[in-house]
Amino acid sequence: MVAAVSRRWPSPVFLALATSFVLASACRPAASPVTGDPAELERALQAMLDSVVRADTTLPGAALSVEAPSLGLFWSGAAGVAERTSQMPLTPQHPVRIASNTKTFVAAAILRLWEEEQLGLDDPVTLHLPEPFIRTMRNDGYQPDSITIRHLLTHTSGLFDYADSEPFFEAIMSDPMHRWSRAEQLQAAVDWGEPYGAPGAVYRYSDTGYILLGAIIEQVTGVPLAGALRDLLGYERLGLGATWLETLEPPPTGVADRAHQYLGEIDTYDFDPSFDLYGGGGLASSVEDLRAFINGLFTGYVFANLTTSDTMLATIHGAEAGPAAWGSEQVPGVYRMGIWVDEVEGTTVYMHTGFWGTLAAYAPDLNASIGAAVTQQESRALHLRQLLWRTLALLGELASTD
């Protein structure tokens, strides 16, 4: 079964979605125009989910949550099943592993510490990392005194991405129950590749930088990452009742079992989450919680100061493109601090995506937030593109009739 899977991990961050939204019309799910009735839009969104799952027999399920208060829309829906064998229906309340969507949470937590003046964005990482991590980097020729927290947030540190390497894929597929540590992953980055460039010189997506940000959060707060994220971001205030850092804290009381997520025919439900746990990924969440978080992030419910969002979204100029990440071209300036900013059919979107098929997006012009998940990793790029493009198009149609 494992041998039938490609030996390269597909992009965990869905770079194709972040850099290009030009789709052939055949890729766009058909839906009737919306004429001003939110209930009609809800029916169109459900029909879209149904059509996406029906059209792809390899896709077990898809879920979507959309909120657009100015349009009177507060809707969640799902299609398909949460697990192939039992055929249990998928719901918007089912948590899923959100992988790199975790980076937005981590970046926001770092910015909360910056607001509290517990760290500076231009602090060298040597001020806030455990000494063994600093020593590991120096042993491979890195200059941690020149790598700043800002570099880690914006993927301009030059740190090799341990997750984008053949040995990492082989290790996971040969022993999916292996319990990884953050130190082991950092050592893998040192052993498996060379620096992409000097700090600040190259933009190149790197999970390595975000596991170090997770360590910095723990070092500065004195609290394990799970509790620090929960406290700094205000899960309770945001209503995130189905979000937790898997195995590092217990699931919230009453939360549904995780939906099963598939890599081709492989059910990855029992893979140990530690291969993607310490800041670059690791959170489990529902599409409703994903939507609520990104909505709160950009509508004043996470940061203490409104201007902090501007800092998060500030463009980093001057960094040249590094080598392709997961086969996708790197585009300096599109990734900010734990978030991508791009145009989708003329609409500005702040968003992030995750390896297993998750997406969180906020469209400021529509004051609309979106959480989405598809449970087939191998086709998630196409399906998340479909769901995002068509949802924004339907919202635009409804807005134009008001």
What does the pLDDT read at residue 326?
Answer: 80
Q: How confident is the model at residue 37 (pLDDT cuts 50, 70, 90)?
A: confident
Q: Average the pLDDT over 150-168 and give the result.
A: 96
What does the pLDDT read at residue 402?
Answer: 63
pLDDT tens profile 248-280 = 999 999 999 999 999 999 999 999 999 999 999
pLDDT tens profile 313-370 = 999 988 999 999 988 899 999 999 999 999 987 899 999 999 999 999 999 999 999 9
Asked whether the predicted pLDDT for residue 211 surpasses 80, the reply is yes
pLDDT tens profile 161-188 = 999 999 999 999 999 999 999 999 999 9
Q: 42-64 burial, b if ≥16 CB within 10 A, otherwise e?
A: bbbbebbbbbbbeebeebbbbbb
Looking up residue 24, the CATH number of its domain turns out to be 3.40.710.10
pLDDT tens profile 284-299 = 999 999 999 999 999 9
Count structural domains, the chain: 1
Q: How confident is the model at residue 16 (pLDDT cuts 50, 70, 90)?
A: very low
Higher pLDDT, 149 or 20: 149
What does the pLDDT read at residue 34?
Answer: 55
Q: Which residues constitute the domain of residue 149?
A: 2-401
Q: In the chain, pLDDT over 90 holds for what percent of residues?
A: 86
Q: How confident is the model at residue 400 (pLDDT cuts 50, 70, 90)?
A: confident
Asked whether the predicted pLDDT for residue 26 surpasses 60, the reply is no
What does the pLDDT read at residue 287?
Answer: 98
